[in-house]
Amino acid sequence: MPSKVALITGASRGIGRGIAVEVAGVGYDVLVNYAGNREAALETKALVEGAGRRAEVCQANIARREDADRLVQATVETFGRIDLLVNNAGIAPKVRADLLEATPESYDEVLATNLRGPYFLTQTVANRMIEMLRAGVISSPRIVNISSISVYTSSPSRGEYCVSKAGIGMMTKLFADRLAEHGITVNEIQPGIIETDMTGPVRAKYDKLISEGLTPIRRWGRPEDVGRAVAAIAAGHFDFTTGAAIPVDGGFHLRRL
């Protein structure tokens, strides 16, 4: 029987790499998408292969529709199927600007990668999945969107990022509703404070906040924490769940007195 295949955007480093390795651990071959860092993508490829699965890399900037279409086509041509799409690729604003000073250019750049890109990539992949289901090529396709605690947490110095992630939350519900009739589940993972390149510049700030109890579980999250949540969905443990937002945040989402 052919192996199931996962297409993971932004999989060269950080959370994306953690997802790729954990998904490989539950039996998926992986298409490792990267925007610019091919060397890092090849490192992820080697880790997936070390877990006993096949991996290939493909450069594509999902903010560009033509790149996203090429990414899907490359996955199908390489593996013959797509069983799992993980919308993970995301960027932060280049400059953390006050909400009253943020620029339309920054807004457009962040939204293009973090929301518009995944929205239309999901549309394209969903249509391919429906075709493959009808042809009997795949049997249990799944889509996972990686959002953030920024879905509901205000950060006025990076408003465009918060808006983009809030949009991912609604996008998850929309596609979950539309695709349920085809047996395609769509769920969302909400990572909290995760130790990655993106959070590196604010390491000292969050070290202090975490030690003071910002999160009930007093440690940084790790990419593999998010990866294991995605792997549980990929393995079929949540096949009666769709449109859900699953926090992987050390308990940050709890309202506490």
Catalytically active residues, by annotation: 161
Cα 138 to its chain centre, rounded Å, is 21
* CA separation for the pair 92, 98 (Å, rounded): 14
- Give the per-residue SS3 of the chain: CCCEEEEECCCCCHHHHHHHHHHHCCCEEEEEEECCCHHHHHHHHHHHHHCCCCEEEEECCCCCHHHHHHHHHHHHHHHCCCCEEEECCCCCCCCCCCCCCCCHHHHHHHHHHHHHHHHHHHHHHHHHHHHHHHHCCCCCCEEEEECCHHHCCCCCCCHHHHHHHHHHHHHHHHHHHHHHHHCCEEEEEEECCECCCCCHHHHHHHHHHHHCCCCCCCCCECHHHHHHHHHHHHCCCCCCCCCCEEEECCCCCCCCC
> Across the chain, which distance is largest between two alpha carbons, in Å?
56
